[in-house]
Amino acid sequence: MAGLTYRDAGVDIEAAKQLVERIKPLAKATATPHVLGSIGGFAGLCALPDDIDDPVLVSGTDGVGTKLKLAFELGRHDSIGIDLVAMCVNDIITVGACPLFFLDYFATSKLDVDQGEAVVRGIAEGCRQARCALLGGETAELPGFYASGEYDLAGFAVGVVSRKRMIDGASVEAGDPVIGLASSGLHSNGYSLARRVLLEGEAPLSLDEAVESVGPLGEALLRPTKIYVNASSIALEHGVHAMCHITGGGLPENLPRMLPRGLGIRLDPGSWTSDPLFDLIQRRGGVADAEMRRTFNMGVGFTMVANPEEANGLLSALDESSDRAFIIGEVIEGEGVTFSP
């Protein structure tokens, strides 16, 4: 009598091999001149660019959070990988780094090859937008660990910057203008609150429902996180003093992270137009302004403290590259973030 197999226990090695074969061309399409070898080995190899003086490696890791629940409910898995890449690379570019490569971790109870391929296709697209290589990753089949049809994602990005060109905020001074770049929606933060307000409770909305000013709700909520690699490259050419990725904690919690001690920021919330999705969440949930601002990006996904002499040129260059940018405030003496009436 034949004994039990690994497949009987819930792990399908053949399915994993099939997924790897489908992933190979996706990863190959993101390869840069610095990538050595290909997908399938025990480790990914990437050489340092030889035109960077005194190179410093910069790393970041993140996930997508409960935005994954929307992908499960909608049965759409081809864009969530963009979010994964964005949440990692948008962190490392704040110090002036150029992304080199990305690694992913995909874990599920039972591997669905088509689903897995769709997720990795999104990751590859995120890498293309970030101009970095999908160097490798890990697919884990963990029987009984996740609900049927669900998975978890984590990502890891590595970039490089010349030590003398690192952006550390040391040159920030009072009076410097703060430039905001438009977000593409909620990005990947605040979804636990958004889902509670919009999809649960006494009168939940449907993900298929077209909401006034928002459009189809599911599409609006699943819209991928914007990747700001191109914008950061432009900023470096215009003497930017500091950069900041607006993630969990929103503008009040993230902006102070790029400032020297003794300096704060005054923001004018009327200087940019917020996505109607934020208004919908606030109105339906009765969420206070302060809670909205520390939970969501409120329409600003990335910020820069500009050199005053370069600010107008930077704004023009960003606009020409299709990055919607606007002056949202200025650096002031003091601490923290304040909002003008």
Q: What's the CA gap between 2 and 135, in Å, rounded? A: 39
Class level of CATH domain 13-165? alpha beta
Q: Which pLDDT does position 69 carry in this prediction?
A: 96
Q: What's the CA gap between 154 and 165, in Å, rounded? A: 29
CA distance readout (Å), 24 to 21, 316, 323? 5, 39, 32
Read off the pLDDT of residues 187-226 as tens digits, 9 standing for 90 and up: 999 999 999 999 997 889 999 999 989 999 999 999 999 9
Return the higher-pLDDT residue of 11 and 96.
96
Q: Which pLDDT does position 201 carry in this prediction?
A: 79
Rounded to two decimals, the pTM is 0.95
The rounded mean pLDDT for the chain is 94
Domain boundaries, the chain: 13-165, 177-339
Residue 1 has pLDDT above 60, yes or no: no
pLDDT band at 2 (very low <50, low <70, confident <90, very high): low
Residue 117 has pLDDT above 90, yes or no: yes
Out of 3-12, 79-88, 125-134, least confident range: 3-12
Class level of CATH domain 177-339? alpha beta
Q: What's the CA gap between 207 and 203, in Å, rounded? A: 13
